Every structure is written in C-alpha cells, then in structure tokens.
Structure 1
Amino acid sequence: MFRFFDTSFEASVSDVTALGRFALGTEAIHFVQIQSDISMRNHSFLVLVLLLVVGVFGVDTDVVKSVSVMEGDSVTLHTNLTEIQTDWELKWKIQDDTIIAEIDGETNIMTVPGNKNGFEGRLKLNKTTGSLTITNIKTTDSGVYKLKISGKNLAESEFSVTVRGVFSDDGVKKMSAKKGESVILQTEIISIPDNVIEWTFGPQDTALFKTDRQKKTPRYNEDDVKFKDRLHLDTKSGDLTVKNINSEVSGLYKVKIIKRTHTLQKIFSVTLYASHRISGSAGTGVSVICVAIVLACAVAVCYWKKRKQSGKMYDDDDQWS
C-alpha cells in the first residue's frame, strides 16, 4: 500500500513485482526495484527507492496561464487534480482577492459566492477536481483568476483571462438552414495545434467526433446512423460541416476544445426554416408584382371617382335645361 500527500510511506513487498511508475495528475513519482540477497537464506526481496517527487499537487506555481476566449464562450480553468483530499481547502479568487468559489475537503462543503456577486449564476465548480467553469463569459469577466490550495502543503496558480470579440449574445450561437442544405459550425479559431476537439449533439451530448493529440486523426461515432456521410471536421480550426440538414439532425451542437490548462466550449443551435421561405430574388419579384397591383388599384379608384363626378355634372345640367 502506498500513501501520498502524507508523512508516512508504506509498501507491502509481496505486492510489488516490477519496476513501477506511479502518476498523479501531470507529475510522477519514480521508483527503482533493487534485488539483493540477505545473509544465508538467499531470499530475494524488493527495495523501493524514491528517486524524485515533483509537484505533488500538479499545479504550476510560477506561471501565469493565458486564456483567450470570445464573449458567449464557456471556459473551464483546470486544477490538474484528480480529487480533493480531506485535509485540503481550495479557493478561487479574482484579482481583488474576492473569493468566488471554494471547497472545504474536510467537511466536503462547496460554496460558490461569485454566483450571487457579479457572475449571476454563471459559475460552476467541479466538486471532485476543483476546476472552475465560467459559462456564457462576458467582457466584464476578463481579469486574473487565482487558485489557492492549502492544507499540509500549499499550491497556488493564476490564470489571466481575456475576452475578445463576440461569439454569441447569450451563450448559444443561433443558425438556420433550409432542408437539404449544408451548414458550417465555425469555432472562429484559426488554428488548434495539439488540442483535443470534441463535438457532441443533442441534450444527451451524443458523441460525434473526437480528435487525438498523438494521432491527429478524428474518431467518428459510427453507431449514430443518422449522421452517416453527413459530417466533415476541419482538424485545423475545429469547424464542423453538417450536410443535408433535416429535422433529425437539427438541434444543439457543442464543441469542446480541450487544452492542457483550460477547456473552451461553444454551443450552436441549428434550426430548419420552412421550405416555402422566399429567397432573395424571388422576394424581389413578388415585391414588384405587389407594387404593380397596388398602383393598378389606385388608378382604378381614381378613374371611378372621376366618372362619378362627371355623371353628377350631367345630371345637374339636365335639371337647369
């Protein structure tokens, strides 16, 4: 048995059979197996030697991570932790040291005061890892976000969040298409070099595409037959093309761009408009016809009034003759 984040270190030798590499978050603890003979009994045993312990928390303490998003995006700031330990206290603060979210590992109580002060319910805190998500981000959310983890050990990290441009007004980009047309869901990101791209569809977040950091090739969900031969993914930008739109494939599309320090999420709502919707050229023709009808009616009314007045004048002349 091994215990990390504590002063004690215990190992059951009978359970150890090979050279091990034990990973926690992004860091690792390496051990070397040493075999030896003990006195006259010529028995083998394993001695585990601790070579290196780096970054127990998996949190960078000296680097300010830059995060660039668009208004309407959602962004998750990663802690790189697998779980919050019972003797830890985790706090998220903004640049004026106002606490916006916190977790007490001992009591297992999570609070998000920022939702009542400034963020209006747009903050989500992962109770297991402590990662913080800001949904439907606004330009006023730009600034420095500070993560502090305290307990037997102390770790701090900072994220500099910048909001540039507008993706959507309310967190969902609305798009429409005629039945049978194609629609391109654009992430508005020029290049996604080594990040994971994940597209999902519908309220159940059914997987559509996911790329791999190492292989650089997208994996398509072949089990969902309604999307067969309908999808094309641009692996450089993350843009998704949906072909031959119909009611089955209209709805909510979500894309996650998973970076090492944070995750971006964009949401699209694709709807169908009626097939009888008038195109631009047809609409112009109809408008011309309507104007012509109105003018013809106006001429007819004027002619009728003139004829009526002429008839009345003739009646008056007859009375005086």
Structure 2
Amino acid sequence: MFGDLGEKNVSVKIGDSVTLNTGLTEIMDNDRIDWIKWKKDDVNTNYGDVNDVLAHIIKHYNIITVFDDALDGRFRDRLKLNKQTGSLTITNITAEHTGVYQLKINNARVDFLLTAYDEISVMEGDSVTLNPRLTLTMDEIQWMFGNENTLIGWIEWSNRITVYDDVLDGRFRDRLKLDKQTGSLTITNMTTQHAGVYQLLITHKKTHFILSVFDDRPDIR
C-alpha cells in the first residue's frame, strides 16, 4: 500500500460508539499501523507536535499499544484496537472526539473526518439551549442552520459576539442568545419553522444538532 488513499466522512450520535475500519482482514507480518488524532484538525500540517498517536501495531515485533491518555485523557477507557484487522473503536462519543483521524498503514494514509450529532425534541413555544459541551480556549465559534448552512451566530476569540437573527425571512428575530463563556446557543419561543439541523463549527470541529419541534395542540374534529 502506498500514498494517500483519500478521506472518509463518518457521522455518529453522541453517546454511541464508532469503529474506524482499516479495510484489512488480517495484518501481515511486515505491517505497521498507526492511528493519529490531529490536534488542530489540519491534515495538511506537517507531522510534529500538532498530532497525537492514539494507537499503533507493529506486527513483526508483536507490539500492540493504545495510548488512551493522549489529548488530556479525553479518550481514556474509550479506545479498543482490533488485533486482527487494526480497526479502532471509540466508545461513548462526545463532542470532544470530533475532528480528523488519520490511519497510516505502512506508506499509505487514510483520513477519517468524524462528526458527532445530537437529537433534541422540544414543544412549540418552549426554549432550547444547544450546548457544545467542549472546553473552549481562544476558538472561533460559528452556529449555522439548515441545508444551506446559514450563519446565525458567531463568537470570535476576542469575545466579540454577533447574532444574525434577520436571516431566513426573520424567523429567528429576537429569539437567539449566545453565551460567550460556553459557546452555547439558546433559541426561545420555538416554532416548527425552527426545526432542522444546526451545525456548530469550532475552528475545524463540527457537531450537528438535529432539532424536532412538536405542536401539542389538541386535535379538534
């Protein structure tokens, strides 16, 4: 195997498990497998201190190691490495696990772009808070809505907050609140027009919230 084998998009619900597959049925004696998590989620950055090795297998020397204390321990007790295929399973996914994972098999490379999503249901007239559940530093935060990824909220690392509540015919007008400390987005007085997919982009990490809005008015016949 040689060269860059492209990238794969993987979506998983928060709390579930996901397996990143090598595509191998069996590891050969001369194979070396490395699983790497990019800290900055930039696959074009050179190797160095911008990535962490999560696991590796060196078949010839019978070395099989999982480094689940990497990246401040966010993977602790969550990583499982298949000794036969080299596939990596991550259990109990949180938003902290989104980003770019790189698989190296000898001289070949495959990138997995992992996106987590959450499903939320609310009643019409209620409020909902979409919480990133991430450790924020000096990150830029963007909230987008719908298939067109319409920007509805933006927090810059300088703590400048902008709400775009006049977009989409004003359906969000006077309904959006951003928390600069947590990055969370609150939508008040929900209607069915606010149902759909909300995308949170923090630097290059993506999390999706699938929001359903129900009308509980009695069925009058």
For this structure pair, what is the TM-score category when the shorter chain's length is used for normalisation? Answer: 0.5 to 0.7
Sort the Cα spacing of 1:237 and 1:62 in 2 relative to 1 into closer, same or farther, 3 A: closer
What does 1:25-104 align with in structure 2 at a 5 Å threshold?
A: 59=46, 61-62=48-49, 64-65=51-52, 66=71, 68=74, 71=93, 73=95, 75-77=98-100, 92-94=102-104, 97=106, 99-101=108-110
Q: CA deviation at 1:63?
A: 5.2
Alpha carbons 1:186, 1:240 under 8 Å: kept: yes
Measured in 2, the distance between the counterparts of 1:273 and 1:58 equals 45
Sort the Cα spacing of 1:271 and 1:93 in 2 relative to 1 into closer, same or farther, 3 A: closer
Q: CA deviation at 1:222?
A: 4.5
1:271 corresponds to 2:212: yes
Structure number with the bigger relative contact order (C-alpha 8 A, sep ≥ 6) is: 2
What does 1:91-170 align with in structure 2 at a 5 Å threshold?
A: 92-94=102-104, 97=106, 99-101=108-110, 123=112, 133-135=113-115
Alpha carbons 2:127, 2:186 under 8 Å: kept: yes
Q: Number of paired residues?
A: 137
Measured in 2, the distance between the counterparts of 1:275 and 1:175 equals 16
Sort the Cα spacing of 1:62 and 1:192 in 2 relative to 1 into closer, same or farther, 3 A: closer
Bigger proportion of residues as strand: 2
Alpha carbons 1:193, 1:236 under 8 Å: kept: no
Measured in 2, the distance between the counterparts of 1:243 and 1:223 equals 15
1:248 counterpart (157, 176, 193) = 193
Measured in 2, the distance between the counterparts of 1:98 and 1:241 equals 46
Higher-Rg member (1/2)? 1
Report % sequence identity: 20
1:188 corresponds to 2:136: no
* DSSP-derived class of the 2:171 partner: helix
User: What's the counterpart of residue 33 of structure 1?
Assistant: none
Measured in 2, the distance between the counterparts of 1:212 and 1:229 equals 21
Measured in 1, the distance between the counterparts of 2:172 and 2:200 equals 16
Q: CA deviation at 1:97?
A: 4.3
Residue segments in structure 1 that go unaligned for 5+ positions in a row: 1-56, 79-91, 102-111, 113-122, 124-132, 136-170, 278-321
Letter in 1 for 2:127: S
Q: Which runs of at least 4 in structure 1 moved beyond 6 Å after TM superposition?
A: none
User: What's the counterpart of residue 160 of structure 2?
Assistant: 217
User: What's the counterpart of residue 82 of structure 2?
Assistant: none
Bigger proportion of residues as helix: 1
Letter in 2 for 1:273: F
Measured in 1, the distance between the counterparts of 2:47 and 2:180 equals 29
Alpha carbons 2:165, 2:171 under 8 Å: kept: no
Q: RMSD of aligned C-alpha atoms?
A: 3.0
Alpha carbons 2:120, 2:210 under 8 Å: kept: yes
